[in-house]
Chains A and B, each alone.
Chain A
Amino acid sequence: MTAATVQRARPSGFRISKRVLPYLLSLPALLVCIGILIPFLTSVVYSFQRYRLSQPWARQFNWGDNYISFFTDPKFWNTLQVSLLYAGITVVLELLLGLAIAMLLQKRSTLNNFISIMLLMPLMTAPALAALMWKLMTNPGFGVLSYLASLIGLQDFRWASSPSTALLTVVLVDIWVYTPFIMILLLAGLRSLPTQPFEAAALDGVPRSFVFFRITLPMLMPYILTATLFRLLDSIQQFDIIYAMTQGGPGDTLTVFQVEAYLNFFQSTNVGRSAALMIILWAITYFLSNIFIKNWLRLRERARGQA
């Protein structure tokens, strides 16, 4: 009888091998992305060419010339510096602010949940349009923010139009748009932390700061890494906000990679240089995310080991 049960359950006909299954599952996603890999490689080829759309006859391989020329090009170093500075400032500020807000909203309540969804609204505003609205709000004449600034004594605050405050202003818009992203991820993280260590610490009268730095932060680390990774990738590639606010100006204050590459392609139609810039940007993001992913995996392993 028992044998019959086993017999009946035996597989018949086509069956997917256990070894092939995971490949089969990830294959469609991979294929879709491979389709995108081909143009990527094409761009790599472009980056090794002297290639201006307006001078098609002069198109030829110049191998590393596009890259080598960057070394002696102060504009490139400025771009690199501004991009890293921008990404660094926005990510750090958004992380701190996002964490603070998440901690304010940590307690589960209808009001807190409602506020957290409301705070997502900036994220739902397309950055390009958000920048446009901020531009209006910081207009020295009609802008409500300029008006408010003048009320608190900043009569002549020039926002995005002065080199000394342009970075600050654009960072402000970036913070406005993207802090909610970090906030929601960290809020989720905070709320999923086990309660016991905190209760124990509270009972033992452990100082709050100690709890925060020794318990909360380490346990939140994987969330922080994920949020930082996605933000960093977007931030170092920021285009919409900067382009809409200042087009990279004033002067060369905000000529980050994507703005430079965009202008190089669409205005100068210098495809070779544009592609080389983007490949370098890609290499930087690849390098940074590699570090992040390694740490992320390590932290996950550790968390898994503890469980």
Chain B
Amino acid sequence: MASLELKNVVKRYKSQTVLDDLSLTVADGETLVLFGPSGAGKTVLLRLVAGVIDPDEGKILIGGEDMTDVDAEFRGVGMAFQNFALFPHMTAFDNIASPLEARHSSKGVIKAGVESVAKLLKIDHVLSHKPRALSNGQKQRTALARALIGSPPLLLLDDPLRNVDAKLRFEMRLELPRLLHDRGATVIYVTQDYKEAMALGNRIAVMSQGVIRQLGTPEQIYREPANIEIARLFGDPTINLLDVKPARDAKGIYVGLSNVQVHLAGAFEAAVGRDCVIGLRPEALSFVGEATPGAFPVTVEAETPLNEKIVTLVRTVRGREILVSRPAGAPGQAEGKAHIAVDSKSALLFDHASGERIGANKVVNLRSGEAA
């Protein structure tokens, strides 16, 4: 079995701690996306798993077997690098074939293997080229083919779409899930692109500064981000964040938006009277008639289409800017005065000081990486 388990892994470079007591379990056949800004430790984590660098503390288990002290070539993983890391002095064919050669496969087996994976990735026509002569897209596919060819039970993909153009990235984002699923391999996928993370991951681990901040399904990460930072990273346009101080009245807990008391649905008891930040996804806001309960007045400033959405910039009475999005084709709103309402169930509250989310929703146990 190719499940992966990291136990209390620590990695330091000089005095700097890159991975801090990190634990993580990935089930066999699962695709886990490591998401986070650069410097979060994602790539280091992949390399630890691959075995090309060693942890200072902790254990790494692959398929239940302790691999901490096992050299990279014996771990049976496949890896694709962000910068492709192709062997510049070998042809694409030899690049792809190299893992099979390591197993001393026969020439025929190698040829068949390379050609089938090349066909799959549509690079069968450039196999005789050296990397220098390949386009970025072809390089990326070659690197991917090299990672896939040995059918490794554990695949490590380090932001493979980072260095390719938008069109190709879009295509690959569609192709990859099927490809990975068909292989049945356990996949660790590193990316800085939240859409990629959402599209590919069975689960997403959000990392920053060497720590997993949140681990959960894409749905969980989006709906219930652990903190402001994560909320901001997922979603385009980004989440609206407004300073508020929730209070309570007879109807429940409310916050003041544009001098209107907007009541929230949810267990926000703890937030009452504290300095908070409210997070409102643009798509959780909609233009409504003035009379709608909870509607508050804004001024429409500008409107711009974004992909399949239309985003409107509005200004509250107090001058704070808010983004509202609606699906393309939905009726628009003329410039000038308008009212918007909040889908109160999807409002998020964060502590102003710590940035942690407030609420009775499920709490994520960060240490074990498992949802509790």
Contacts and interface: CB of A to CB of B under 8 A. Distances in A.
**Direct touch of chains A and B (CB < 8 A):** yes
Interface string A1-39: 011011001110001001000000000000000000000
A11 B153 contact: no
B70 A2 contact: no
Interface of B is mostly: loop
Q: Determine which residue in A3, A6, A11 has the highest number of CB atoms from chain B within 10 A of its CB, and name it.
A: A6
A3 B1 contact: yes
B73 A2 contact: no
B71 A6 contact: no
A11 to B, nearest CB: 5
Contacts, number: 38
Contacts of B13: none
A6 B65 CA distance: 10
B235 interface: no
29 contacts: A2-B1, A2-B63, A2-B76, A2-B151, A2-B152, A2-B153, A2-B185, A3-B2, A3-B63, A5-B76, A5-B150, A5-B151, A6-B2, A6-B62, A6-B63, A6-B65, A6-B74, A6-B75, A6-B76, A6-B153, A9-B75, A9-B76, A9-B103, A10-B74, A11-B70, A11-B71, A11-B74, A18-B54, A18-B71
A211 B73 CA distance: 47
A5 B102 CA distance: 13
Interface in A24-66: none
B81 to A, nearest CB: 15
Interface in B237-291: none
Nearest to B51: A18
> What 8 A-B pairs come out closest when comparing CB atoms?
A2-B153, A6-B76, A9-B74, A5-B76, A11-B74, A2-B2, A9-B76, A10-B74
Interface residues of B, number: 18
Nearest to A9: B74
A6 to B, nearest CB: 4
Interface string A119-162: 00000000000000000000000000000000000000000000
A15 B71 contact: yes
A99 to B, nearest CB: 30
Contacts of A9: 73-76, 103
Q: Determine which residue in A2, A10, A11, A15 has the highest number of CB atoms from chain B within 10 A of its CB, and name it.
A: A2
Nearest to A16: B71
Nearest to B62: A6
Contacts of A11: 70-71, 74
Interface in B118-160: 150-153
B153 A10 contact: no
A24 to B, nearest CB: 15
Interface of B: 1-2, 54, 62-63, 65, 70-71, 73-76, 103, 150-153, 185
Nearest to A6: B76
Interface of A is mostly: helix
Contacts of B54: 18
Given A5-B150, A6-B76, A10-B70, 19 more contacts: A2-B63, A2-B76, A2-B151, A2-B152, A2-B185, A3-B1, A3-B63, A5-B151, A5-B152, A5-B153, A6-B65, A6-B74, A6-B153, A9-B74, A10-B74, A11-B71, A15-B71, A18-B54, A18-B71
A95 B73 CA distance: 47
Contacts of A3: 1-2, 63, 153
Interface of A: 2-3, 5-6, 9-11, 15, 18
Contacts of B63: 2-3, 6
Contacts of A5: 76, 150-153
A11 B151 CA distance: 20
Nearest to B185: A2
A249 B2 CA distance: 78
A36 to B, nearest CB: 33
Nearest to A21: B71
A5 B152 CA distance: 8
Contacts of B70: 10-11
Nearest to A2: B153
A200 B152 CA distance: 45
Contacts of B103: 9
Contacts of B62: 6
A11 B65 CA distance: 14
B149 to A, nearest CB: 13
B227 to A, nearest CB: 30
Contacts of A18: 54, 71
Nearest to A15: B71
A2 B73 CA distance: 15
Contacts of A2: 1-2, 63, 76, 151-153, 185
A196 B257 CA distance: 51
B66 to A, nearest CB: 12
A11 B73 CA distance: 9
B29 to A, nearest CB: 10
A2 B65 CA distance: 13
B65 to A, nearest CB: 7
Contacts of B71: 11, 15, 18
A1 B153 CA distance: 9
A271 B62 CA distance: 66
B172 to A, nearest CB: 24
Nearest to A19: B54
Nearest to A11: B74
A15 to B, nearest CB: 7
A10 B70 CA distance: 8
A266 B3 CA distance: 74
A11 B72 CA distance: 11
A15 B76 CA distance: 17
A5 B62 CA distance: 12
Contacts of A6: 2, 62-63, 65, 74-76, 153
Contacts of A10: 70, 74
